[in-house]
Chain A
Amino acid sequence: DAGITQSPRHKVTETGTPVTLRCHQTENHRYMYWYRQDPGHGLRLIHYSYGVKDTDKGEVSDGYSVSRSKTEDFLLTLESATSSQTSVYFCAVGGAGDEQYFGPGTRLTVT
């Protein structure tokens, strides 16, 4: 599992509230990613990081922000949650050989 954990694993929140999801890795990978997974859409990249304090946007970044103050932690914040952000969120890290290792996922429901 490449030492990747996500917290929380499940969350229900109300529209308009801020939400922060955490990804933690123990193997010092440089690259970290946040994806959302929705039926029929596969895995869509939200944001990624290529080092501490170095982040960039993915294809579906609107309404999301990220921070990486330590190598091991990558945080995803929904600034003001909307029902369209109900999804399963996966964190991933970049392996040495180009492959990705995924965390267990966070199921977020926005009511």
Chain B
Amino acid sequence: GENVEQHPSTLSVQEGDSAVIKCTYSDSASNYFPWYKQELGKRPQLIIDIRSNVGEKKDQRIAVTLNKTAKHFSLHITETQPEDSAVYFCAASLSGGSYIPTFGRGTSLIVHP
């Protein structure tokens, strides 16, 4: 089955800095890669996703890049703000069918004012 490794487990940055979270996956058939943000005490929420036919996707201050050859994808957050502080989860799955994603273990991002 699919295995997703996520690093780092904790990331501490100063406000305004950039943050990068990396995930690797094992199943080359996976073609859908979402990122979820979970604020303290809240539910995970989708913030951005990418499919295997695209190398990069941006949405304002966040972007995701995908390297299919190396089987890794990354979340980039620029100009970090204190409200970006949360746990971020990556996932990998095969599009369609039974929709069973495999999640990484999460990265706790702390943005210091």
Contact of A99 among B43, B49, B96, B100 (CB under 8 A): B49
Of the residues A44, A90, A99, contact of B34 by C-beta under 8 Å: A99
**Chain A residues with CB below 8 A from B42, complex form:** 104
B43 touches A94 (CB 8 A): no
- Find out whether the CB atom of A42 lies under 8 angstroms from the CB atom of B104: yes
B34 engages A41 (CB within 8 Å): no
Residue count of chain A within 8 Å CB distance of chain B: 22
Which A residue's beta carbon lies closest to that of B32?
A98
Query: Chain A residue with minimal CB distance to B95?
Result: A98
Q: B89 on the interface (CB 8 Å rule)?
A: yes
Least Cβ distance of A35 to chain B in Å?
A: 8
Interface hits, A78-111 → B, CB 8 Å = 90, 94, 98-105
B43 x A31 contact (CB < 8 A): no
Q: B44 contacts which of A43, A44, A50 (Cβ < 8 Å)?
A: A43
What is the CA–CA distance of A80 and B96 in the complex, to the nearest angstrom? 35
Taking CB atoms, residues of chain A closer than 8 Å to B46 are 99-101
The A-B contact count (CB < 8 A) is: 48
Whether B45 and A43, one on each chain, are in contact in the complex, defined by CB atoms closer than 8 angstroms, is: no
CA distance A104 to B43 in the complex (A): 5
The 0/1 profile, CB within 8 Å of A marked 1, for residues 1-36 of chain B is 000001000000000000000000000000010101
* Contact A41 B105, CB 8 Å, known A98-B32, A102-B45: yes
Q: When the two chains form their complex, are residues B100 and A48 in contact, meaning their CB atoms are under 8 A apart? A: yes
Q: How far is the CA of A77 from the CA of B36 in the complex (A)?
A: 27
> Which chain A residues lie closer than 8 Å to B105 at the CB level?
40-42
Q: Known pairs A44-B103, A45-B100, A98-B49. 8 more at Cβ < 8 A? A: A31-B98, A42-B104, A43-B89, A58-B100, A90-B43, A98-B34, A100-B101, A101-B46
Query: Distance (Å) between the CB of B59 and the closest chain A CB?
Result: 14
